[in-house]
Amino acid sequence: MLHSHFFDSAANQPDSPALWVDERLYSYREIETRVRRLSAGLAAFAGSACTSRCLLFAYRSVGAYVGILGILDAGMAYVPLNPKMPAARIAAIIRQSGAPLMLVDRRCAESLDEVLSLLDEPPQIVLLDADAEESQLPSPAFSLMQRRGAAHDIAYILFTSGSTGSPKGVPITHANADAYVNGQLQLVDKVRDARYMQLCELSFDPSVHDMFVCWANGGCLYVPENVDPVGNASFVQTHRITHWCSVPSVAGIMQQMRKLPAGAFPSIRVSMFGGEPLPRSLAQAWMRAAPNSRLLHMYGPTEATVACTCFEVTPEFLDDPQHTVIPLGQGLPGVELMIVDAELEPVAPGQTGELLIAGPQLAEGYLSSDEPGNSRFIAMNYPGKTAHRWYRSSDAARETTPYGIVFQGRLDTQVKIRGHRLELEEVEHVVQAASHAASCAVVPWPLDEVGRATGLVAFVTNPEVETTHVLRACRQRLPVYAMPQRIVIIDAFPLTVNGKIDRKALAEYCARGEVAA
């Protein structure tokens, strides 16, 4: 079970630090005591309400981490809600989750009314505070016995951008997550006095890596109050962080702010980047700033549990100027990869095709059986491969020697912005509904030096549209990274030979300066 990694370390080193948050250090014993108290009440509630899911509305507090472990220990799956998201999006996730119970910390309680006002059937609320944990839940006999569960039980549900206009839930089982954690333990040697830093939000799957790989190693998770690329450097130095994990964009901002001088982070032993392409120039700057660190480039969709491939960046690799972007590398232990053509047949060595992913980290499908994306989980047998179920990533890739898989772009309209996965159709649904335009298209713009999207531009055909109204609607329904930077009114869309909107031509308008973004 995923949470057993924490409890195993708590049993072996109860007085070691497990969590630094809210300017305070907590030992494994302290966290375990809080977790057991909470899980006892949750288990009693789950037994009476027949629920297997619990929402978590908490932000960078001890309650957030006690909540996750308590939910898991009670035999339920946690569904994290990001308080930075618009209330309408949070409400949509709550409805889809079907969870009847929500744990809320004091910080998020202030914005709870706005979210609940959008729900016809709001969940039961339990405030995550030391005094409230016992009073708002049933109080069975306190027990330190770890609760039983099965590996196929769902551990957590994360919601990603959906092409139908609504976020889609990805249930990850204990077996999926445990396979990932064990793969990481094989990949990286244990570091004495390990100190992991959590930069991402709990609704973003690298948080699973930060928490459970850290606790499996008997380390301490350090949680800064605010995620500020400018303040990251001083936090690493002050707390002597040993393990770094982020999207490349975070390090890129630090580089722009001149926070990556040579030797800046001597304490870091392992650096992991993923979620978007890692440019060679940034990898070089990071290796100079963290000279004692291994540098690992990770790749993987949420459906394959955090990350499923890894490439270790070496100085020798970076010395070759032909390597402008870091490869995806090889599959993690147990992961199988295939590159196939449009008919799902293997391509010739070195040829580009769609990357398929299989193995114990692969989810069973999406939360909703009606989700169109379920068609991307396919049953296929390939010579030399043991897997029978595969996930169509829609990522174009090719295999090289000796560097493994190399990313070649997307085969659909999905983009990554600051590491967040985004379906352009989701933004288009919001823009079209607000603009009443006959046609709408959203394109990623501008792009950085390696072709990563840093923003969005929306094109609409309604000449009477009020762009300020559309932008306001976007702010109410979309996360910040999915907000179009500009709404552009266009007389008619350029079309491809197949009669579809020519997104490439729209991007060229932007590139020529005809659209300022």
User: At 140, which amino acid appears?
Assistant: P
Q: How far apart are CA 277 and CA 449, in angstroms?
A: 11
pLDDT of residue 335: 97
- Which contacts of 307-315 are long-range, i.e. CB under 8 A and separated by 24 or more positions? 307/180, 307/209, 307/274, 307/332, 308/332, 308/335, 308/337, 308/357, 308/359, 308/361, 309/335, 309/337, 309/404, 309/405, 310/187, 311/403, 311/404, 313/278, 313/283, 313/287, 315/287
Q: How far apart are CA 301 and CA 422, in angstroms?
A: 12
The residue behind tokens 């014993």 is: 29
Full DSSP string of 183-232: HHHHHS---TT-EEE--S-TTSTHHHIIIIIHHHTT-EEE--SS--HHHH
pLDDT of residue 132: 41
CB of 136 closer than 8 Å to CB of 37: no
CB of 21 closer than 8 Å to CB of 7: no
pLDDT of residue 131: 47
User: At 399, which amino acid appears?
Assistant: E
Q: How many residues does the chain have?
A: 517
Domain with CATH 3.40.50.12780 in the chain: 4-11+21-173, 228-412
- The whole-number mean pLDDT for each consecutive block of 10 residues of the chain, a chain of 517 residues, reads 97 97 96 94 69 92 96 96 93 95 93 94 85 47 55 95 79 98 93 94 95 98 88 96 93 90 97 90 95 97 96 93 87 96 94 96 94 94 96 94 89 81 85 81 83 87 86 90 90 74 84 64
pLDDT of residue 136: 57
CB of 112 closer than 8 Å to CB of 120: no
Fold (topology level) of 228-412: Rossmann fold (3.40.50)
Task: For 486, list phi and psi in degrees, rounded to 5.
Answer: -155, 145
CATH superfamily to which 414-511 belongs: ANL, C-terminal domain (3.30.300.30)
Domain with CATH 3.30.300.30 in the chain: 414-511
Tokens of 296: 């690992």
4-11+21-173: which CATH number, 3.40.50.300, 3.40.50.150, 3.40.50.12780, 3.40.1190.10?
3.40.50.12780
